[in-house]
Amino acid sequence: MSLGDSATPLGKVRGLGSAREGGEHWITERVTSIALLLLGVWLIASLLFLPKLDRQTIIEWLRAPSAAVPMALLIVVGFRHALDGMKVVVDDYVHEPGRNFAWNTFFLFLAVGGGALALYALATICFGGVA
């Protein structure tokens, strides 16, 4: 049973479950939520335990792989989970197909663009020679 085919064999035989691709979305939202539980607590705990929150301390912290990797994961998984969540909200309240498509496309662009921007900032901090 892959993420792309989340229907159970029994559900298939009975013809139950999503008529389209909703099963994958539902599973993805929950799997990313478990990842964010760890990553979100990691971010807050890390910030609390840093001796200072000045720029130099943040740069040194983020340049270590032990912080750069979870931060990159937090960005990717965080924007993905936000996109999946906003789709549920849009689909709940915007029923007309054209407007529904427009709102979902808007949030798709916002999430991909925002995630790319955050990753660019992180890469600049890690590899860009900022001081």
Partner 1 sequence: MASTRERPLSPHLSIWRWGPNMAASIFHRASGVALSIGGLAVLTWWLLAVARGQEAYLDFARLAGSPIGLIVLIGLTWAFFQHLLSGIRHLVMDTGANFELNANKRSAILTFVGSVVLTLAVWIYIFGVGA
Q: How far is the CB of 114 from partner 1 (least distance, A)?
A: 6
Gap between the Cα atoms of 87 and 84, Å rounded: 5
Contact status, residue 116 vs residue 72, Cβ threshold 8 Å:
no
Query: b/e string for 61-84 if b means 16 or more Cβ within 10 A?
Result: bbeeeebbeebbebbbbbbbbbbb
Dihedral angle sign, alpha carbons of residues 46, 47, 53, 56? positive
Among 16, 59, 69, 112, binds partner 1 (CB under 8 A): 59
User: Does 33 contact partner 1 by CB under 8 A?
Assistant: yes
- Stretch touching partner 1 by CB under 8 A, among 4-12, 15-23, 39-47, 96-104: 39-47
User: Does 86 contact partner 1 by CB under 8 A?
Assistant: yes
Consecutive H or E run containing 28: helix 22-49
User: Does 52 contact partner 1 by CB under 8 A?
Assistant: yes
**DSSP conformation letters of 93-114:** H--SHHHHHHHHHHHHHHHHHH
Among 16, 69, 89, 108, binds partner 1 (CB under 8 A): 89
Binding track over 62-81 against partner 1, x by CB under 8 A: x-----------xx--xx--
What residues line the site for partner 1 (CB under 8 A)?
Answer: 30, 33-34, 37, 40-41, 44, 48, 52-53, 55, 58-59, 62, 74-75, 78-79, 82, 85-86, 89, 114, 117-118, 120-122, 124-125, 128, 130
